[in-house]
Chain A
C-alpha cells in the first residue's frame, strides 16, 4: 500500500495539498488537504459595526476580495433595507468585471498554461511564449486597474461602502476604461482560441451537478437573488441552506458542502454549463463554436470556460461604461437607521458561487455565515482526483497520477485562503483498514451489511462474516437478503454509516483486507457492482457519504462452496479486531 502525495500545491492561492492512497489496484483514499490554519473569519466581526464587517469580512481572501465585498454589501444592504441607486449598482458590476478579468487572466495565462506547455512557471515560459505571458499580464493589469479605480486599491480596497461609494471615478477615467477594453478585443479572441483549443486530457470525465447564481432576465451575469442548478432547480437567496449543507472534516480547516449528499461543482465551467446559452455577441458565437460534451463532464475545461468569460467581461465593460456615463450626478451615500435585520448576498466569485449571510442586532453584527466556492468544490475535487487516479492506475499509468491530480486541482482554480496549497500519492499503511474501522466503530454506530454470492466460493465471504458476527450476538449486522426482506431497515439505519462487507478484487494477494469509501465503487468499473442497487435506491445520499466497503481479496470467485484458507484467515482477523 502506498500514498502519492503533492504536499504543497503550487500555482494556487493559499496552502494546500492532495494525496491518493493506493492499495494494490484500488485507490482507497483521496484527500484534498488544506493547511491554511483556522482564521475564524465568521467570528471576527461579531460585535462590530456593519461598516467594520464590510471592511474585515472581505479580508478572507485577496484574490476574490471584491466578490466578498459585493457579497457582504448585498447581504448587509438586504438586512438593513438599503436600496442603492442604479449608478451604484452598475459601478459595482464594473468593479466585479475588473476582478473577473484580473483573476481569470492570472489563472489561465500565468498559473495554468505552464502545465500544458510543459514549464514549471510562467516566467520560465516567457522565454519561448513571451507573447502569451505578455497578453496575460496586460489583461491582469487592466483588470487590476478597474479594481483600483473603483475600490481604491488592488487588494482590499475600502471605497465601496454600505449605501454607495466613498468617491466615484471621473468621466475621463471611465472613458479610458471603455476605450482600453475595446483595444483589447483582438487579444481576447486569441485568448479564447488558445484555451478552447488546448488539448485537454480526457481523464477524468464524469457527470456532475453544476450550480451558480441566477442573474435573471435571461442574461449572463455574476450575481442574482436565486441559486440555479444544472437540473433547473432553483433556491431563493434566503433559502441557501436547503441547497447547501456545510460540514467539517478532520483533515482540513475548510468546511465542505454537498447537495442532497452529492458533490457538485461551481465556477466558470458551472456558469457556462448553466447559463452559456444566454451569452450574446462574440462570446455567444464562441460558445456555439466551442461548447461540446466534454465541457459537461471534464473539470479541465474550467480553463476554457474562464477564457469565454474573459470575453464576456471585455464586451460587457463598454456597455457598462455607456450606462454609467449616462448618470451625470454622483448619488450620495444612502444612510440607514435600521438597527436590526438579517440578509443574504449571492455573488459569483471568479471561482464560483459565494454566499454571505449577515445578521445585525442592535446595530452590531450578531452572526455571520460565509460559504465560499472552494469549500463547495472540495468534494468534487476529491471525486475527480479519485476518478483520474483509479483510471490511470487501471491503465498501468501510476506514474502519471501525481501530475494529473495537480492539473485537476489547479483547473478548479481553488482559492485556498478563501476556504480556509497541491498532490500526494501514497501506498496505504499496512493494515490501514484497522485504524479506519476503529475510528468508525468508536465514533459512530455503524450498520454492517454482508454482501456476496453464496454460490461462488470466496465471494461468499461477506455473507459468511456477517452471519458469524450476527450469531455472536453483535447488533446491527445484516445480510444482503435481510435488506430485501426488511424494508424497515432503511428507517432503522437512517443517518448511520453503513459498512458493506464483501470480497473485493483489488489486485492484492488473497486474504488481504482493505477499506475505502463506498462512493469509490461508483468511480471504479473493476469493482463489484453489487452495491449499486443499494446506493441508488435504498440508502439516501447523506448516508452514502459516510459509508465504507470492508473488502477481502478473494482467491477465486468460481462456482463452488469452498472458501480459501487465506480468506478465512482474513475473516478471523476482522472478527478479532471488532471484538477488541
Chain B
C-alpha cells in the first residue's frame, strides 16, 4: 500500500522542550496523532528517527549555537513547510532578552567564565526566521494544546492554519474577567497575541506577554496608559521585552519616534 500520509518532523533547538512536551501532553490524542501522519523524527519520543524529505517540520526553540544554524538550514532544505513552534522559535524566547550583543557577551562570560567551548560556538539567541524562511508561526510559551490540535487537524485536511488576529483582551472579555489594568496592574493583555485563552487573567494574574506581540498592536497607546497608571518607562519596557527578544525592539523604535 502506498504511504500517502504527511511526513512530519518535530525538532528541538535551544529551549525548555515545552512545545514538544505539549504534544505528548495530548495524551488522549497521542496515538491518533501518530497514526494520522508519518512521523519521521521526534527525538523526545522516538529512537528510530530519520533525516529525509518532509512535508512539514515543526521547529521549537531558538538558535543559540553555530551547530543549530546548520541543523536548521538542513531542516529547511528537507521540508516543504516549516513551522516556528512556540515563542522561542517565533521570537527568540526568554533567552533572547539580551538584545545588545555586548550585554549578551558580558553575561555569557559571567556564567561560563573564560571556558573555550570545544563542541560548538555559542551565538546570541535568535528566532529561527533570522536564518531561514518560515511558513507558519505558532507562538506560545509553550503553545496551547487547543491551538496545536487545531493547527494540526487543519493542516491534515489541507487547510491553512487559523489566524489569531486578536489580543488576549478579547478572550479575557469573553471570559468575563475584571480588567486587571483597571485595577492598576501591569497587564500586557492589549499587546499580546491570543491563543492561551487569557489563562493568567482568569487566575487574577496579569498577562506577562508570553505569546509575543499581536499584529498591529497599539503599543503607543498601551505604553502611555501604563505610564498614566504610574509605572515607570523602564519597568514597562523590561516587562515587554521578557519574551519577545529582538522583535520587540521594532516596537520600541516606533515608541521612541512618538512625541514624549
Let me know if B25 and A155 touch, CB within 8 A: yes
Let me know if A35 and B120 touch, CB within 8 A: yes
Q: Does A122 contact B (CB under 8 A)?
A: yes
Distance of A111 Cα from B45 Cα, bound (Å): 6
Determine the chain A residues whose CB is within 8 A of the CB of B174 once the complex forms. Answer: none
**Interface range, A side:** 35 or more
A-B CB pair tally, cutoff 8 Å: 192
Let me know if A137 and B28 touch, CB within 8 A: yes
* A373 CB, nearest partner CB in chain B, Å: 15
> In chain A, residues 232-255, which have Cβ atoms closer than 8 Å to a Cβ of chain B?
248-253
Distance of A251 Cα from B118 Cα, bound (Å): 5
* A178 CB, nearest partner CB in chain B, Å: 21
- Known A39-B95, A121-B46, A248-B115; judge A152-B202 contact (CB<8 A): yes
Let me know if A120 and B46 touch, CB within 8 A: yes
Q: Does A106 contact B (CB under 8 A)?
A: yes
- Known A48-B242, A110-B24; judge A123-B111 contact (CB<8 A): no
Q: Does A220 contact B (CB under 8 A)?
A: no
Let me know if A159 and B49 touch, CB within 8 A: no
Determine the chain A residues whose CB is within 8 A of the CB of B12 once the complex forms. Answer: 14-15, 421
User: A123 touches which one: B21, B45, B115, B145 (CB < 8 A)?
Assistant: B45
Let me know if A63 and B17 touch, CB within 8 A: yes
User: B145 touches which one: A33, A63, A154, A416 (CB < 8 A)?
Assistant: A154
Distance of A48 Cα from B234 Cα, bound (Å): 10
Let me know if B119 and A144 touch, CB within 8 A: no
- Known A120-B46, A120-B48; judge A37-B68 contact (CB<8 A): yes
Determine the chain B residues whose CB is within 8 A of the CB of A251 once the complex forms. Answer: 117-119
In the complex, per-residue mask of B63-106: 1 if CB is within 8 Å of any chain A CB, else 0: 11101100000000000000000000000011101100000100
Let me know if B46 and A141 touch, CB within 8 A: no
> In chain A, residues 250-277, which have Cβ atoms closer than 8 Å to a Cβ of chain B?
250-253
Q: Does A13 contact B (CB under 8 A)?
A: yes
Q: Does A517 contact B (CB under 8 A)?
A: no
Determine the chain B residues whose CB is within 8 A of the CB of A41 once the complex forms. Answer: 94-95
Determine the chain A residues whose CB is within 8 A of the CB of B196 once the complex forms. Answer: 153
* A93 CB, nearest partner CB in chain B, Å: 19
Let me know if A253 and B45 touch, CB within 8 A: no
Let me know if A13 and B110 touch, CB within 8 A: no
User: A13 touches which one: B17, B65, B119, B238 (CB < 8 A)?
Assistant: B17
> In chain A, residues 1-40, which have Cβ atoms closer than 8 Å to a Cβ of chain B?
8-15, 33, 35-40
Let me know if A62 and B21 touch, CB within 8 A: yes
Determine the chain A residues whose CB is within 8 A of the CB of B120 once the complex forms. Answer: 35, 37
In the complex, per-residue mask of B193-222: 1 if CB is within 8 Å of any chain A CB, else 0: 000100110111100101000000000000
Determine the chain B residues whose CB is within 8 A of the CB of A248 once the complex forms. Answer: 112-113, 115
Let me know if B48 and A121 touch, CB within 8 A: yes
Q: Does B125 contact A (CB under 8 A)?
A: yes
Determine the chain B residues whose CB is within 8 A of the CB of A56 once the complex forms. Answer: 94, 242
User: B22 touches which one: A38, A47, A48, A155 (CB < 8 A)?
Assistant: A155
User: B18 touches which one: A9, A44, A133, A156 (CB < 8 A)?
Assistant: A156
Q: Does B1 contact A (CB under 8 A)?
A: no
Determine the chain A residues whose CB is within 8 A of the CB of B98 once the complex forms. Answer: 40, 43
Most chain A CB within a 10 A radius of its CB, from B25, B28, B125, B204: B25
> In chain A, residues 108-154, which have Cβ atoms closer than 8 Å to a Cβ of chain B?
110-111, 114, 120-123, 126, 133, 137-138, 140-141, 144, 152-154
* B124 CB, nearest partner CB in chain A, Å: 10
Q: Does B44 contact A (CB under 8 A)?
A: yes
Q: Does B233 contact A (CB under 8 A)?
A: no
Let me know if A38 and B48 touch, CB within 8 A: no
Determine the chain B residues whose CB is within 8 A of the CB of A572 once the complex forms. Answer: none
Determine the chain B residues whose CB is within 8 A of the CB of A207 once the complex forms. Answer: none
Let me know if B119 and A11 touch, CB within 8 A: no
- Known A11-B46, A155-B18; judge A35-B119 contact (CB<8 A): yes
Let me know if A10 and B95 touch, CB within 8 A: no
Q: Does B15 contact A (CB under 8 A)?
A: yes
User: B27 touches which one: A47, A137, A166 (CB < 8 A)?
Assistant: A137
Q: Which residue of B lies closest to A102 (CB)?
A: B25
Distance of A248 Cα from B108 Cα, bound (Å): 13
* New contact pairs (15) apart from A62-B22, A121-B48, A417-B16, CB-CB < 8 Å: A10-B44, A15-B14, A15-B43, A37-B64, A40-B104, A43-B111, A47-B238, A48-B242, A59-B141, A61-B17, A120-B46, A133-B31, A154-B25, A154-B145, A248-B113
3 residue pairs, one from A and one from B, having the closest CB atoms: A37-B64, A62-B18, A166-B203
Interface pairs (10), CB distance under 8 Å:
A8-B49, A10-B44, A11-B45, A37-B64, A40-B104, A65-B16, A154-B145, A155-B142, A157-B199, A158-B200
